[in-house]
Structure 1
Amino acid sequence: MKPEECTLYHSGLRGAEAYFGECAEKWGVNEVVFTYEGHTPDRAKNLVVLSEEELKRGDISMELVSKMMKRNYAKPERIRKVLQVIFHMVNKGYQVFIVGEILPNATVKGGTGWAAELAKLFNRPLHVFDQKQGRWFTWKDGKWEEDIPVISHNTFVGTGTRNLTEEGREAIEDLFARSFG
């Protein structure tokens, strides 16, 4: 697969998403950044501002989100638009790559965890680089298995923590190098 035949989807937040975008640009991968009115992403290349109508297509009950994520949200309305944007990313990008932390309950820490849960729900290939463990994992048969993934689909999501470590940066760089080098 050639990099120019691929498209990365993300929301341009600082940290993992912005760095996925930088690597995509370096390797010649197409990039689309989803956002919503009133939000300015840190990386805004090929920006798509989702309308209220488009955002509503990604709407879901916060009660269901809490159940799937196995946690409660103190200010659900504040995170709703973020979750709606994540829906559009995962809906467009077939394979999902996340840099963050896998929690003991098998979810992924933070809002990024919603991308992981949607990938599971949509039966998409899902890979997480756990910065605490320093390893990649793939969701397979209802559990996390250690893996060394490659970008193997023309559309993919790159998302994750805003607190990207040097090891996380290297994991993203290595992913692109393994996939397109």
Structure 2
Amino acid sequence: MADPKEYTLFSGGANGAEAFFGEMAEQYGLNEVNFTFDGHSPARTRGLRPLTPEELARKDVSLHYVSNLLHRKFTNAKLMRSVLQTIMYQVDSSHEVFVVGTLREDGTIKGGTGWGAEFAKICNKPLYAFGQVRDGWFSWNHDKGEWDECAEPVIGHRHFCGTGTRFLEENGRKAIEDLFKRTFG
């Protein structure tokens, strides 16, 4: 089994999947970094890493680009922009990304969570998604550009990102719980 003290979860600490990833990290003794910014109120307070306005600006991304990539409209609201910027820090800091949410037919993941998955694809990082509606794990096949059903993954890199929907269902909670149990026993 992996030594949990050598692992760090990078997340945003938001309600739902991110908060539950953090709870599991704390339960198993992993390090935890939750990126936040002024005016944001994350559910998790352990491992908070506030980003300065200058740091956020370094991850500025066109909301038009993100909207087109995810086939939905994102407003130019300061809060939404800052959330997307913190997601980029989560993914950049990790070597592997785990997402819990709703996989859409177009290959994206529903909501702001989808940006984390898309950014992981752009960065060519190992990417796993638990689809709550489909009730199973999928891995992103970078060569084919599509999701493949996969066996239940384990956390294989010491620096990993755990993100996902605010609307965590019971099967999503169990998927996260089992991911930690498989990896850290």
The two structures have a TM-score, normalised by structure 2, of 0.95
What residue in structure 2 maps to residue 7 of structure 1?
8
What residue in structure 1 maps to residue 113 of structure 2?
112
Tell me how far 1:94 sits from its aligned partner.
Answer: 1.3
Query: Are 2:182 and 1:157 aligned?
Result: no
What residue in structure 2 maps to residue 169 of structure 1?
173
- Quote the Cα distance in structure 2 between the aligned partners of 1:109 and 1:66: 12
SS in 1 for 2:80: helix
Deviation sequence 1:10-62 (CA, Å, 0-9, x none):
11111100000000011111101110011111111011110001001111111
Contact residue 66 and residue 74 of structure 2 kept, 8 A: no
Question: Structure 2 vs 1, CA of residues 54 and 74 (structure 1 numbering), >3 Å: closer, same or farther?
Answer: closer
5+ long unaligned stretches in structure 1: none
What residue in structure 2 maps to residue 95 of structure 1?
96
SS in 2 for 1:49: strand
Q: Percent identity?
A: 50
- Quote the Cα distance in structure 2 between the aligned partners of 1:127 and 1:72: 24
Q: How many residues align?
A: 181
Tell me how far 1:75 sits from its aligned partner.
Answer: 4.5
Contact residue 33 and residue 47 of structure 1 kept, 8 A: yes
- Quote the Cα distance in structure 2 between the aligned partners of 1:76 and 1:14: 20
Contact residue 99 and residue 161 of structure 1 kept, 8 A: yes
Contact residue 62 and residue 76 of structure 1 kept, 8 A: no
SS in 2 for 1:115: helix
What residue in structure 2 maps to residue 40 of structure 1?
41
- Quote the Cα distance in structure 2 between the aligned partners of 1:16 and 1:54: 25
Query: Are 2:18 and 1:17 aligned?
Result: yes
- Quote the Cα distance in structure 2 between the aligned partners of 1:77 and 1:66: 15
Match of 1:145 among 139, 143, 148: 148
Tell me how far 1:64 sits from its aligned partner.
Answer: 1.2
**Which one-letter code corresponds to 1:61 in the other structure?**
S
Contact residue 97 and residue 159 of structure 1 kept, 8 A: yes
Tell me how far 1:76 sits from its aligned partner.
Answer: 4.6
- Quote the Cα distance in structure 2 between the aligned partners of 1:168 and 1:62: 28
Tell me how far 1:77 sits from its aligned partner.
Answer: 3.8
- Quote the Cα distance in structure 1 between the aligned partners of 2:63 and 2:122: 16
SS in 1 for 2:26: helix
- Quote the Cα distance in structure 2 between the aligned partners of 1:150 and 1:135: 14
- Quote the Cα distance in structure 1 between the aligned partners of 2:114 and 2:74: 13
